[in-house]
Amino acid sequence: MLLTLILAPLAGAALLAAWRGAGDRAAGRFAAWWSLIPIVLVALLGFRGANPGGAMAAWSLDWIPDAGIALTFVVDGTSWLFLLLTSLVTTFVLAISLQKGLTSRSYAALILVMETMLLGVFTARHFIPFFLCWEMTLIPAYLLIRLWGGPNAPRAARRFFIVTLGGGVCMLLGFLALQIGVGTMDFGQLAEMASKGDLTKTLATAFAGTALTGPTLLLFVAIAVLLGLAVKIPIVPFHAWLPDAYAEAPTPITILLTGLLSKMGVYGLLRVFLPIFPETFAVLAPWLAALAVATVLLGALAALAQKDLKRILAYSSVNHLGYCVLAAAAVVASQGDRESASSAISGAFLQAFNHGIIASAMFFGIAILESRSGGRRGLDDFGGLRARVPVLCGLMGLAIFASLGLPGLSGFIGEFLVFNGTFGLLPWAAAVSVLGLLFTAVFLLRLIRKVFHGPLGEGLSTWPDLSTAERWLFAPVIALIVIPGLWPQVLLRFLNADTLRLLDFLKP
Amino acid sequence: MNPLAVLLTLSSVLFALGLFAVLTRRNTILVLVGIELMLNAANLNFIGFWRYGPPDPQLTGPMFVLFGIAIAAAEAAVGLAIILMVFRHTRSTDLNASNSLHG
Amino acid sequence: MAEALQPHLPTLLWAIPLLPLLAATAVAFLPDARGRIASKLAIGALGVSCVLALLATACTLTPGVDKPFRLTTSATWFTFGESALKVGVLLDPMSAAMIAMVTFVALWIFIYSTGYMADEKRFGRFFGFLSLFCGAMLMVVLANSLLLLFIAWELVGLASYLLIGFYFEKPSAAAAAQKAFITTRVGDMAFFLGMIWLYRQTGTLLFYDGGNGLLESAALASLAGTTTLGGLTVSAAAALLLLVGAMGKSGQVPLHTWLPDAMEGPTPVSALIHAATMVAAGVFMVARVHPIFANGDGVTTALTATAWIGGITALYAACVAVAQYDFKRILAYSTVSQLGFMMVALGTGGVGAAMFHLIAHAFFKALLFLSAGSVIHGCHGEQDIRKMGGLSKPLRRTFLAYSIGMMALAGFPFLFSGFWSKEAILHSAEIWPGGKGPFALAVAAALLTAFYMTRQALLVFFGKPRRPGVEHPHESPGVILVPLYVLAAGAVLLSLIATPFWPWFEKWIDGEAARFHGGAFGEHGAIGLLILSLALVTVGVGAGWAVYRRVSDDSGAPDPLSGKLGPLWRLLENAMGFDALYQKAIIGPLAMLASLIDAIERGILVPVMAAGETVLKAFGRLTGASDERGLNAGFDGACSGLKRRAAGASGAQTGRIQSYLRTIGLGVAVLLVLYLWL
C-alpha cells in the first residue's frame, strides 16, 4: 500500500510521458484526476490508523546489504500529516494550473514526479532513500521554474538549484561521515545510538587518527546536516535564493515551493536532526535560537519593505517557518521540560501543516489577481477591490487573517503551541519573537488596505468576481483553514503519540 | 613396403591434392571437388586401418566409411545448391567475387 | 424558574454566544440584496441570546447565600503530547451582569441600526459583522479560560476592524481600521505572553476549576512564590503584561490613539463597540483576573500601575476632549477618560465600583452616541459641532434623550447612574492606601468631564443656529428614537441599585447579600466625598456655562478658550501630539529598518549568493577547460590512434574464405611444429 502510494504519481507521470497525442488540457485534466489517487490512499491509511508501534504502513527493501543500505519507508502519524498535505496541495496546484490554462503534458508530469519524491522524503527512514528523494525534488522544481516562470526565471531557478544543491551536498557529507564513522545511515539506529550517547564515542574511535575529538566531530556533522536543512526551510541568512525563486516561479509552482518544498526542511529539522544530534544541543542551542529569532523578525521586516505581492508573501513564508525553527531551537535548548518540548514540537508540526494550506490559499488569491490584471501584482497596482470582487477579497481576507494568527482559524493554534513551548524553554527568544507576530499583522493589513480597501483603482471596474470553478477551488482550502482552527484535535490526534516518542529520544 | 603404408601414402597424396585445390582454385566447383577428395582420403585411411589393424568384428571402419560417403553425397548436394544460389546472385562462380565478409 | 433552569445552564450558556455567531455565519452566505433577512436573522438570534442571558442572570440572584454564585464548566479542547488544554464557560455575577448588559444594549443598537443604516448598500453585511461582534463579546465575558477569553478577544478585535473599515472606500476609514487592529495587537501580544507565562507557571488556563484554577489559591500561591526579573513575582509580571493587553483594548494611554480614529465607523458601531462593550473588555478582563493583580502583600505593583495608568488616562483624555470639535471625537475621548476611571477603580481595589461604572457607562455612553447619530442623521451627515447650534428645538426628542445621557456622564447628582458610579470610584480611590495620586487625577478628570459635556451640549443644542448647508434639520424616525429612550431609562434606573444606601450591585458582584445601609454617609468621610462630587459637577457645569453661554454666530470663529490657552489649546487640539510622536518615533524608524533590511538583502546577501554562483561558474569553466585540454585530449588521442591502427589491422579481413583457410592452415602448421618440437 505504501509503495503504491509513493509510486502512484510517478506512474501517472509515466503514463503522461507515454501518451504522445495528449493535448495540454487533456493532460492537465488527467493529471489532476490522477492525483486524487494518492489522496484516497492517504485517506485510507488515516482510517486504518496506527499499530502500537506508531506505524501506519511500512515498506522496506535491503538494497545494498553489504553497505547496510536499505530502502526503508514508514508512515506514522506525523508523516501521515505531511503526506496528506503533499497530496492535497499537489492536487490543488494541478487544478489551479488547469484552471489558469498553464498546464501541459510535461508540466503536469513534472509535478507528479515531484509528488512522488516528496512522498518519499516524508516517509523515508534511511538516509539514502531520504536523500535521493530530497535531491530529486530539485530537478522538477528547477525545470518548472525555469520553463514556465517569469522573465528572470532562468537566473532565479539556477540560484535556487545551486544553493539548495549546495545545502544538500553538505548534508550528504555529514551523513557520509556518519556512515564511515558509525557504520549506519539508518535514522532509527542513529537515533537509538544518540539517545545512549554512543554517537560521539563511536565517531571518536573511528576517526582516532585525526586531531579532532568526538564532540567536535559530531558538531561538524550536525552543522553540515543543519546547513542542508537551513537552506531548504530557509533559515536567515540562507534564504537569499527564496524571494526571487518564489516571485519568478509561476504562481501555482510558488505554492508547491512554499507549501511543500519548504516543509521538507521543517520535517527534516524536527524528525531527522533532533533525534540524531541531541549530543550537540548544548553547543548549538544559543546559535539556533538566535537564527530562529532572526528568521522570524527579519522575515517580517523584510516583508514590510516589499512592493510586490508575491515577494511580500515570500518573506511572510520565511517569517512563518521561522516559528517552526524557533520551536526546534526551544527543543534543542530543553533541559527535560517535557511538556514545553511537546508543546513546541506539536506546534511546529501544526504550524508547518497549516502554513502549507494558508499559503496555498493566499497565493491562489494572488494568482487570480494576476490573471485578472494581466500579470500585474504590485502592492500599488490595485485598490478598492473589495467593492468590486467581495467574494475574492473575503476569502483571501480569511486566509490573510489565518496567516496573521487570528484565533478560530488554523494559524493560531500552531503559533500558540510554539510560543507556549518556547516560552517555557527560551523565554527571551519567545518574547522577542512575539514582535514578529505584530509585524506580520502590520504588513498583511497593509496589503489588505492597499489592495482591497480605498477607492477603486483604475481599470478594475470591469473585473468579474470569482467564477464557480474558482469558488470550488477555494472551498476545500478554506475548510481546511477553518476546521482545524476550531477543532485542532482533528490534526493533533495524529501527532501526539509520535511527539512523545520523539521526546523519548531527547532525554538528556 | 607394407600395404598399409602404400594406402596411407595414397591417401596423403589425395588429401594434399584436395587441400591444394581448396586453397588455390578460384572456381567454386573445383573447390568443392577438392573437398570431396579430402573426404575420400579420410575414408581410405578408415578402410586401411580397419583392414590391417587389429581384428574388429564390429566393422567400425566400414561403418564410418559408409557414413562418410553419405555425408559427402549430402554435402555435395547442399554445396552445389549454395553454389547455384551464389551464382544467381553474383553471376559468377569465382570465389573471390563473394567477399562481402571483408573487414 | 431559576431552579428549573439550573441543570440546563451550561448548555444555555454556550448558546448565548453561539447564536449570534451562527447568525453571523449564516449572513456571510447571504447575498447583499438580502440585507433585510440578514438584519432579521441577527436581531432574532440576539433576541434569543438576550432572553437566555437574562434568565442566566436571574439564576445568579440567589439571595441569602453567603457563597458567591459560580457555575463553571470545562472540557478538553485539544491535547498536545500528554497535556490537555481545557476551555469552558463561567457564570458568576460579574459575567451575568456583562451578558445582560451586552445583549440588552446591543439588541437596542441593532434595532436602531435598522433605521440608521437603512440606505446602506451593504446593509446585510453590517448586521453580519455586528452579530460576529456580539457573539465574540459574549464569549469574552463568559469564558472560563484565559485562552478562550483571548480567542474571543481577538475576534472582537476582528469585528471592530471590519466595522471601523465598513466604509472601506474612504482611505481614512481603511487607515483607521488598520490602526485600530495594529495598536490593539501591540497590547494583545503582551496579553499573549502574559497568558503563556501564566500557563507555563501554573499549568492551567481555566479561571476556576474546582481548586485547580488560575484564580484559585494553589495557583496564586505558586505565582506569588516565584520571583523573576527585577524582583517582580511572576504574578506581578504576568499581570503587568495582561494590563498592557487591557490598555490596548480599552484605549489607555499610551495605546489610546486608535480609539478616536475608530469613529470613522458608522455611529451604531461607535456606540456598541467603541463605547459600550468592546473597549470595556479590557476593564472586564482586569476585573476577571483581579485576584492575580492583587496577588501579593498590600498594594501590589500591578495594582499601582493600573491605578496610575487609569488616572493619567482619565485626566489626559478629559483635557483633550475639551479641545475637540467633532461631535463623535469628543465622545470618543470621553470614553477613553471614563475607561480610565474604571482602571482607577480596579487599581484601587474597587472591582464592584469598576463593574458598575462599566455597566452604567455602557448605557449612557451608548445613549450619547446614538443621540449623536440621530443629530448627525438629522443634520445630513454634519459632525462638526461648530456648525450646529440651536438644535434643541428642531430635534426636541433627540435633545431630551441626549440631555439624560449628558447629565449621567457629567455626574449630575442623585438621579443618574453616572453620579453614583463615579462617586463609588472616587471613594475607592480615596481610601486606597497606595497614595492619593490617582484620586487627584480622577477628581480633576471628573471636573473636566462636566465642563466638556456642558460645552458640547451648549454648542450643539443651544444658542443660534450656525449651520451653513444644514438649513432644515429633521427629527429622526421612531425606530431611532425608541432605543434612545430605552437606554435613557436604563441610565436613570441603574442609579437605584448602587447607591451607598443600598449597594446591591457591588455586593452582588462580590458575592455578598446587600443590606439597606442608611448610615452609609457616616463612614470614612463619605459625606465629604459626596459634597466634593456635587462641587465638581457644579463647578464644571458652571464654568462650561460661563465660557460657552454666548458663542459667536460665525461657525468659523475660534473657540473662546483657544485665545486664553494659546499653545496649550493647540496641543490639546492635536491630542498632545501622540500620533505625530508615534509617526516619528515608531512608524518612521520601523519603515527605515525594513528598508535597511531589504537593502542588506539586496546589497549583501544576494551579491554574496551571486558571487558564490560566479565562483562556481568559474570553477566549472576551469574544470571544463581542463577536461577538454587534459583528460579529454589524452583520451580522444588514444581513441583516434587506435582507430587508425585498427584500420590497418582490418586489412587482414579480406572476406575471402581461401585466405582465411590459408591462415588457419598456417596456424595449424605452426601449432603442429610447436607441439612436436617444443
Residue C61 has what pLDDT?
Answer: 79
Cα–Cα distances (Å) from A505 to A224, A278, A338, A502, in that order, read 21, 8, 12, 6
Chain C residues with CB under 8 Å of A500 CB are 81-82
CA distance B32 to B42: 16
A501 touches chain C (CB under 8 A): no
Closest to C653 (Cβ–Cβ): which among B24, B31, B103? B103
Residue pLDDT, tens place only, A69-115: 899 999 999 999 999 999 999 999 999 999 888 888 999 999 999 99
Flag whether A346 is in a domain.
yes
CA distance C478 to C468: 27
Q: How many domains does chain A have?
A: 1
List, in order, residues 6 or more apart from C522 with CB less than 8 Å away.
none
Calculate the dihedral angle through the C-alpha atoms of C635, C641, C642, C645, rounding to the nearest 10 degrees.
Answer: 180
Q: Do chains B and C touch (3 or more CB pairs under 8 A)?
A: yes
Calculate the dihedral angle through the C-alpha atoms of C461, C462, C467, C473, rounding to the nearest 10 degrees.
Answer: 40
CA distance C502 to A226: 70
Calculate the dihedral angle through the C-alpha atoms of A2, A4, A8, A10, rounding to the nearest 10 degrees.
Answer: 90
C3 — pLDDT class (breaks 50, 70, 90): low
List A residues 340-369 in contact with C (Cβ-Cβ < 8 A). Answer: 340-343, 345-347
How far off is chain B from C654, nearest CA to CA, in Å?
A: 4
Residues of B with CB under 8 A from a CB of C: 19, 22-24, 31, 95-96, 99-103
DSSP string, B7-69: HHHHHHHHHHHHHHHHHH--BHHHHHHHHHHHHHHHHHHHHHHHHHSS--TT-HHHHHHHHHH
Check CB contact under 8 Å for A423 and C200.
Answer: yes
Cα–Cα distances (Å) from A111 to A9, A32, A34, A199, in that order, read 9, 10, 12, 39
Contact partners for chain C, using 3 or more CB pairs closer than 8 A, are A, B
Chain C residues with CB under 8 Å of B103 CB are 650-655
List, in order, residues 6 or more apart from C432 with CB less than 8 Å away.
C299, C307, C347, C348, C349, C438, C439
Flag whether A137 is in a domain.
no
How far off is chain A from C192, nearest CA to CA, in Å?
A: 9
Chain B residues with CB under 8 Å of C652 CB are 103
Nearest CA among C101, C127, C103, C106 for reference residue C51: C103
List, in order, residues 6 or more apart from C394 with CB less than 8 Å away.
C378, C472, C473, C474, C475
How far off is chain C from A385, nearest CA to CA, in Å?
A: 9
Flag whether A407 is in a domain.
yes
Mean pLDDT of C452-477: 82
How far off is chain A from C398, nearest CA to CA, in Å?
A: 34
C412 — pLDDT class (breaks 50, 70, 90): confident
Chain C residues with CB under 8 Å of A442 CB are 182, 590
Domain that holds residue A381: 281-508
Nearest CA among C335, C281, C282, C290 for reference residue C313: C335
A94 touches chain C (CB under 8 A): no
Q: Do chains A and B touch (3 or more CB pairs under 8 A)?
A: no
* Local structure of C433: helix, strand or coil: coil
pLDDT exceeds 80 at position C510: no
CA distance A280 to A426: 17
Residue C645 has what pLDDT?
Answer: 83
Flag whether A243 is in a domain.
no
CA distance C338 to C530: 19
Flag whether A488 is in a domain.
yes
Check CB contact under 8 Å for A163 and C609.
Answer: yes
C655 to chain B: nearest residue by CA?
A: B102
Chain B residues with CB under 8 Å of C662 CB are 23
- Strands of C432-537, DSSP E: none
Residue A507 has what pLDDT?
Answer: 67
pLDDT exceeds 80 at position A476: yes
Report yes or no: A191 and A270 within 8 Å, Cβ to Cβ.
Answer: no
A445 touches chain C (CB under 8 A): yes
List A residues 112-151 in contact with C (Cβ-Cβ < 8 A). Answer: none
Higher pLDDT, A313 or C227: A313
Residue C517 has what pLDDT?
Answer: 60
Report the range out of A86-95, A236-245, C429-438, C659-668 with the highest average pLDDT. A86-95
CA distance C111 to C50: 13
Residue C70 has what pLDDT?
Answer: 85
Residue C525 has what pLDDT?
Answer: 63
Cα–Cα distances (Å) from A140 to A149, A157, A164, C435, in that order, read 13, 11, 13, 71
A449 touches chain C (CB under 8 A): yes
For residue A319, what is its C-alpha cell? Answer: 517569517
Query: CB A356: neighbour CB atoms within 10 A?
Result: 25
Q: What is the mean pLDDT of chain B?
A: 86
Report yes or no: A375 and A100 within 8 Å, Cβ to Cβ.
Answer: no
C661 to chain B: nearest residue by CA?
A: B23
Report yes or no: C138 and C91 within 8 Å, Cβ to Cβ.
Answer: no
Residue pLDDT, tens place only, C44-69: 999 999 999 999 988 887 655 566 78
Q: What is the mean pLDDT of chain C?
A: 88
Mean pLDDT of A472-482: 94
Report the range out of A1-5, A171-175, A233-237, C71-75 with the highest average pLDDT. A171-175
Report yes or no: C392 and C423 within 8 Å, Cβ to Cβ.
Answer: no
Check CB contact under 8 Å for B101 and C655.
Answer: yes
In this structure, are strands A69-76 and A55-64 parallel, antiparallel, or unpaired? Answer: antiparallel
Vertex C653 angle, CA C652 and C659, to 5°: 80
Residue C390 has what pLDDT?
Answer: 82
Domain that holds residue B84: 3-101
Chain B residues with CB under 8 Å of C655 CB are 99-103
C241 to chain A: nearest residue by CA?
A: A431
CA distance C45 to C27: 12
CA distance C237 to C227: 9
Chain B residues with CB under 8 Å of C656 CB are 95-96, 99, 102
For residue A461, what is its C-alpha cell? Answer: 471596474
B97 to chain C: nearest residue by CA?
A: C656
Higher pLDDT, A107 or A215: A107
pLDDT exceeds 80 at position C518: no
* Local structure of C95: helix, strand or coil: helix
Q: Which amino acid is at A392?
A: L
B25 to chain C: nearest residue by CA?
A: C658
CA distance C556 to C588: 34
Q: C34-68 b/e with 16+ CB inside 10 Å = b?
A: ebeebbebbbebbebbbebbebbbebbeeeeeeee
How far off is chain B from C611, nearest CA to CA, in Å?
A: 56
pLDDT exceeds 80 at position C210: yes
Residue pLDDT, tens place only, C261-319: 999 999 999 999 998 899 999 999 999 999 999 988 888 899 999 999 999 999 999 99
Higher pLDDT, A372 or C656: A372
Cα–Cα distances (Å) from A119 to A130, A386, B77, in that order, read 10, 39, 70
pLDDT exceeds 80 at position C558: no
pLDDT exceeds 80 at position C550: no
How far off is chain C from A323, nearest CA to CA, in Å?
A: 15
Mean pLDDT of C405-415: 87
Nearest CA among A258, A261, A262, A320 for reference residue A292: A320
Check CB contact under 8 Å for A342 and C150.
Answer: no
Residue C206 has what pLDDT?
Answer: 92
Q: Which amino acid is at C113?
A: S
Report yes or no: C146 and C74 within 8 Å, Cβ to Cβ.
Answer: no
A173 — pLDDT class (breaks 50, 70, 90): very high
CA distance A62 to A285: 36
Query: CB B47: neighbour CB atoms within 10 A?
Result: 15
CA distance C281 to C274: 10
A164 touches chain C (CB under 8 A): no
DSSP string, A395-420: HHHHHHHHHTT-TTSHHHHHHHHHHH
Chain A residues with CB under 8 Å of C171 CB are 453-455
Q: Where are the alpha helices (DSSP H) in A257-337?
A: 262-267, 274-276, 281-304, 309-333
Which DSSP category does C61 fall into? -
Closest to B22 (Cβ–Cβ): which among C650, C651, C661? C661
How far off is chain B from C614, nearest CA to CA, in Å?
A: 52
Q: How many domains does chain B have?
A: 1
How far off is chain C from A478, nearest CA to CA, in Å?
A: 14
C189 to chain A: nearest residue by CA?
A: A434
Report yes or no: A16 and A105 within 8 Å, Cβ to Cβ.
Answer: yes
pLDDT exceeds 70 at position C329: yes
A452 to chain C: nearest residue by CA?
A: C168
Nearest CA among A146, A173, A318 for reference residue A231: A318
Check CB contact under 8 Å for B102 and C653.
Answer: yes
Residue pLDDT, tens place only, C232-244: 888 999 999 999 9
Chain C residues with CB under 8 Å of B95 CB are 656-658
How far off is chain A from C584, nearest CA to CA, in Å?
A: 17
Residue C513 has what pLDDT?
Answer: 62
- What percentage of chain C has pLDDT greater than the value 90? 48
Mean pLDDT of C392-415: 88
Report yes or no: C288 and C319 within 8 Å, Cβ to Cβ.
Answer: no
CA distance C420 to C338: 14
Check CB contact under 8 Å for C80 and A340.
Answer: no
- Strands of C440-502, DSSP E: none
Residue A48 has what pLDDT?
Answer: 85
Q: Which of A227, A334, A393, A489 to mutate to test the interface with C (most CBs of C within 10 A)?
A: A489
Residues of C with CB under 8 A from a CB of B: 650-658, 661-662, 665
Query: CB B23: neighbour CB atoms within 10 A?
Result: 14
* ipTM field: 0.94
Closest to C665 (Cβ–Cβ): which among B23, B101, B102? B23
List the CATH number of the domain containing B69: 1.10.287.3510
